[in-house]
Structures are given as C-alpha cells and as structure tokens.
Amino acid sequence: MSRKKLATVWLGGCSGCHMSLLDIDERILEVAKLADIVKCPVVDGKELPEVDITLVEGAVTSDEHLEEILHIRKQSKILVALGDCAVMTNVTGMRNYFELDDCLNTAYKTAISNDGQGEMPASPFVMHLNQKVVPLQEVVHVDHVIPGCPPDANTIFYVLSELLNNRIPDLSDVKKLHYG
Amino acid sequence: MDNNEKRTIRISPVTRIEGHARITIQLDEKGEVENAQFHVNEFRGFEKFCEGRMYTEMPVITPRICGICPISHSIASVKACEMIQGLEPSYTGDLLRRLIHLGQNISSHALSFFHLSSPDFLLGYDSDPALRNIIGVAQKFPDIAKRGIRLRQFGQEISERITGKKIHIMGIAPGGMAFPLSEENRQALQVWIPEAKMTVQTGISIIKKYMEENKEMVESFANSPSLYMGMVGPDGEGELYDGKLRFIDEEGNILQDQLDPARYLEFIAERSVEWSFLKYPYYRPLGFEKGFYRVGPLARLNVASRMKTTLAQQEFLEFKKIGNGKPVHGTFYFHYARLIEALCNVEEAEQLLANPAITSNDIQTHGRWNHPEGIGCCEAPRGTLFHHYKTDPSGKLISVNLLIATGQNNPSMNRSITEVARQYVKGSDVKEGMLNRVESAIRCYDPCLSCSTHAMGQMPMQVEVVDAEGKILYQVERG
Ligand code: SF4
C-alpha cells in the first residue's frame, strides 16, 4: 500500500478537536507509519500540497477561512469535518444570533476593561469576518463527518485508521458517538 | 515615510503555536528592521453571545473558548458563579478541581515543550522543516518523544478519571464537583507519578543542556525587561488554582501584593488595536506606554517567593540565580520556567492523590443566586485568567468580560519579535532558520490564540521584501 498524505487544518474552532486528535497519544506514531503528516498546527509545513485526507476543525467564519476551505477541497481527495463546529458551527456559530457589529463592539469598544481609546481591528493584515458563521458543508462537499465537541480520541483514531487503510469508516455504532 | 516605501516581510502562518497568527516585518529603506507586528486572526464573540443566558451555563460554554486550557476557563467561570451565589466549594470538591487543574497544566506544558518546542532543541532550529516536529523527534529520539506524549496523556487522564472526558469536561459545578474520584481511579492515577516526574526531569535536563551550549543566544534572546503579574499563595508561594495577585516591576520590587482578583479593573486596562484581533492589556497605574506586563510561567516564577514542593523548589533556586535576585527577563527562559512549574504540578498532584479526603463523596455544597455580580480568576497555563459576569434579577447575564492569559502577553510578544527580527533578519537576506527564530520568539510565550481572541491561519508561509514602488525584490516560500 502506498504511503498516504494527511493534513489537519484548524479553522474557526477552539483547537479542542486537535487536542482530542493528540489524545490518541502514542498511536500518532502508528498514523505516522501509514502517512506523512504534511500539514498540521503542530508541524512546520505551511503550504497544503495535494493530499489524500484532510481533517478540518472549526467552522467558516471569515474570508480567509472561505478561501482556505475551497483550497483544501481542491487539494484533498477526502475531506473530513472534525467536530461539531465543522459539522454544524456549534459554539463558534453562537454569534449568528447577534449582529456581527454588536459582537465586535462588545469586545473592542464597550468591554468594561477597555480604556476607550482603542481602534477596531481593520488593517489589511487582519481577516475580514463574515456576517454569519457557516458549517463546512454549506460551502464545500464534505466526505465524512465526525461529530462531538470534541469527538472522542478513539473515534478519531478509528476514522483515521479506516481511511488510511482504504476502508470507509462506519460511525453508525452509537457507542462511537456522543453529545458534548 | 509612508507605508508603501517600506519593505515588508510576512510570515504566515506562525506554525507550531496554538493559534491563528501572522507576522509582518517592516524594513526601512536601509534594509534594517524597523518594526514587527504580530497579527492575530480570529474572533468568536463570546462576550456578546453569552448575554441573555443563565450564568450557570458559563462553566460549560466558556471552556469552548480554548481546547488547550478549557479547565482554567471552567474554574474561573465557576468561581465567578460562586461569587454570585455567595457560595464556597466543599473541601473535597475544591481538592478535585485543584487536581484537574494541575492535570491540565501538566498536559499543556508537556504539549508546549515536547510536541512544539523540543524539535528546535533536539533537532536544531536549522534542521529540515519537514521533520522538525514531534514525529521527527520520535524518529531520532524515540524514548523522549514517547515519554513526552505520555506526560501529556497523564495530565489529560486526570480529567478523564474524574469526569469521564478529557476535553470540555462536565462536572465542575458551583459548590464543588459533580463527580467524585473513585478509589480505583485514584490508584490508577497514582501509578503515573514516578514516570511523570522523571519525564519532566528529562525535559529539564534537555533545556539546561541547550541553555549551557547556547549561552549567548539564550541570554540575548528577546531579553527586554517588563513588569510581571502572577498569582501567589498567602506566603508568596507560586499558586495556580486559588490565590491573590502580585505585580512586580522590572527590578523585582513588589508593586502590588495579595491583591484580590475581584479588583482587577483597578489595575488592568486594555486597548484594542487596528492590526490585531488581540487586545493590548496594560498595568493601569503606569498607562499604555509604560505599563506592559507579562504573565505565564516566566512571570509566575519571577513573582513567586518560593515553590510549594521540594524538587521544584530546588530548581527554582537555580532559576533565581540566573537573574541574580532580579527578575529573569530573557524570553527563552519561559521554557525552563514552564518545566519547573510542571515539576511542581506533578509533585502537588502526588500530594493530592495521597490525601485521603480526595475520594470523599462530600463534593458539592449548594446555594442560590445571591449577588448580581461575580468575578472569578485562576492561573491558566499561559497566565492569569479573569471571568467577570453581571446578571439581572432573574440570573440572566447582562454583561460578560473575559480577560485572557495570552492577551496580556500580546504587547510583549510584539516587542520580543521586533527584537529578534532586528537581531536575525538583515535586509533581504532572509533564511529559513532565521524566520523560524522569529516564530520561536512567539513560541516561547506558548501563546494560545484560540483563547486570547476567544477566537491559526493557513496561508503558505511567505516572505516578501518589497521595494519603494511595491515591487517584490525577493521572495522566500516555505512549503
Ligand atoms: S467542536 Fe468543540 S472541541 Fe471542536 S473546535 Fe468546536 S468547540 Fe472546540
């Protein structure tokens, strides 16, 4: 079997899904036997080459995320939405019930610890936030979803090992899935 | 000179840190580094969207700010709730929360050192970027990598053994804990202690060897003085879970001591800036220009008079020698400080696990909504964390203010990268290893950007040197 290329990407999430991925502990070395981890928040590769599998944590919250997920889709044979934020926006999407400007004002203008002399983040070097946070499947085709906040490490390892061995993961067994 | 005339170097994203960020280095016409800016790109809006919810939901919602230090959020949050309820946690509930909090600190420090930073020390800053990671370490030093992974696992397992989950746990509730620790699980955790101690000590010997062999770099690496803040216990001992605040100045004089965290607004203010989603907090009495202070492991060791446990205290005395009685300012020493703290955490966990009360079922006290306002504080792995809630007469939140650890290091991170850029980037001569050093200045702080904006970027790493007409003279890409 040929070695696979694996990427993991972090969009609008809390990194908890990546931490749960790290919770597979030493089994990460088993994954490294089957695949090169070419991009991941804990390695140095910065550009996404063509890959077999990409796990994506988090929802799409900004122009940068959108651009990125479109690029990921182009580069990846299999795209996996990792965790509730990627699957259905979850906590990242809780701001959707409010106007974006209200959210920004609360943080950058009216917060009680602010000194009142600041500026809104708006330089060309910062991203442009979208009005609404959307889950991955709203903008790209998603091949597999792993729900959970975060998904349990055993479930993530199961999905990864199935995909790396050219099998389709079966998450219909409820024991692998749980809320919260 | 306006912006167009400046040459700009951009590093995007910053890798092997926990967050979404990018760095721009601006060169002046002579090709000297003029300025560096650290841009944090993420925003989630917790302060707003929590409004209107019941305050009691917060210990479960706010951990989703950050998957690396969720326990600290739960704890700061639950303390704010307890202030609202006029309630103290039960003795055992308090012990269990302390234990879980230590577990998180151990796993976060293990991640920062073994997974993210040790590749630089063990493989070299200029080694092959494709292997400069924990898996590369595992190929060359399998034993070290495995033990680092297992140290993190130990920390995570503490949460799991008590609450059934490793990340975003349920069960830290006003009044104490919702789950007890069983005797079986207590024993299962206890057997980890000797190995965990040994692994932290291995980490300490790696960093000491590196510091010994790279003295000049270590000492000169982003070493400007700053103020420091951290939590201390009643005798000035380093404390993470529950204590009072101490501020010291750059000479080590105590500016404020035994400060009740509920008074944080008197001492800390923040300013938002145009070029980052991360705000700039400062020590209010000295103002925005002069008041920048640092938090986190280096700060905590600088403010502390001693450590709580024997082995950590021995290391602490060695650490203090570096500064000759003055605070240690070199940013590189964050790594050393983090490991000394991890050692203390393991020893303290050992003590807690030996306390017969830890398996008691008396885990929660009960109370009701009594005060409209609550402020909770604890030390997250990266620094002091505050949650401040105001409620209406039905207990719904009307205002939420979150002051996050990494945020408080933002002004200093920015200054540190500017210093490192000045030292290592000369004109258009930009080598991969140099850029890695600029990034590693950031990594010293182990910033958790997920947290700080309650909010990492994935563009290819690009370095551009642009001439006065905006034409790209020189470009480096790292793939
Ligand atoms: S699903 Fe949960 S753990 Fe994963 S990124 Fe979202 S909030 Fe964090």
- Bridge partners, B27 (sequence order): B7, B33
Please report the pLDDT score of residue B338 as a whole number: 95
Most confident region among B180-189, B213-222, B438-447 by mean pLDDT: B180-189
How far apart CA B199 and CA B152 sit, in angstroms, is: 10
Mean pLDDT of B22-37: 73
B479 vs A47, A68, A90: nearest CB: A47
Which residue ranges make up each domain of chain B? 46-423+435-452
CATH topology of domain B46-423+435-452: Cytochrome-c3 Hydrogenase; chain B (1.10.645)
Please report the pLDDT score of residue B459 as a whole number: 25
Q: Is A95 on the interface with B (CB under 8 A)?
A: yes
Q: Is B450 on the interface with A (CB under 8 A)?
A: yes
Better-scored residue on pLDDT, B136 or B418: B136
B434 pLDDT exceeds 70?
no
Q: Is A93 in the pocket of ligand 1 (CB under 6 A)?
A: no
Domains, chain A, with CATH or none: 4-94+130-171 (3.40.50.700)
Better-scored residue on pLDDT, A172 or B51: B51
Most confident region among A26-35, B150-159, B273-282 by mean pLDDT: B150-159
E strands, A58-154, are 60-62, 76-82, 129-134, 144-146
Please report the pLDDT score of residue B413 as a whole number: 78
How far apart CA B111 and CA B348 sit, in angstroms, is: 19
pTM, rounded to two decimals: 0.90
* Residue of A14, A60, A133, A136 best suited for mutating to test ligand 1, as the one with most atoms within 8 Å of CB: A14
Range in A6-20, B113-127, B225-239, B379-393 with the lowest mean pLDDT: B113-127
- To the nearest 10 degrees (0 to 180), the angle between helices B142-163 and B193-213 is 140
**What's the mean per-residue pLDDT of chain B?**
85
What does the pLDDT look like over B295-349, one tens digit per residue?
Answer: 999 999 999 999 999 999 999 999 999 999 899 998 889 999 999 999 999 999 9
Whether the complex's predicted ipTM is more than 0.90 is answered with: yes
Does residue B114 contact residue B446 with C-beta atoms inside 8 Å?
no
Q: How big is chain B, counted in residues?
A: 479
Better-scored residue on pLDDT, A69 or B427: A69
What does the pLDDT look like over B385-400, one tens digit per residue?
Answer: 999 999 999 999 999 9
Band of residue B293 on the pLDDT scale cut at 50, 70, 90: very high
Please name the residues in contact with A115: beta carbons below 8 A apart, sequence gap of 6 or more: B269, B270, B271, B288
How far apart CA B477 and CA B479 sit, in angstroms, is: 6
How far apart CA B110 and CA A143 sit, in angstroms, is: 33
What does the pLDDT look like over B75-116, one tens digit per residue?
Answer: 999 999 999 999 999 999 999 999 999 999 999 999 989 988
Structure tokens at B23: 């760095």
| Percentage, residues of chain B above pLDDT 70 | 85
Structure tokens at B67: 């998957």
Please report the pLDDT score of residue B407 as a whole number: 75
Interface A-B, measured as beta-carbon pairs within 8 A, has a size of: 227
B461 pLDDT exceeds 80?
no
The DSSP code for A60 is E
Please report the pLDDT score of residue A126 as a whole number: 76
Residue nearest to atom 6 of ligand 1 (CA): A85
Mean pLDDT of A97-112: 93
Please report the pLDDT score of residue B432 as a whole number: 60
Mean pLDDT of B402-424: 79
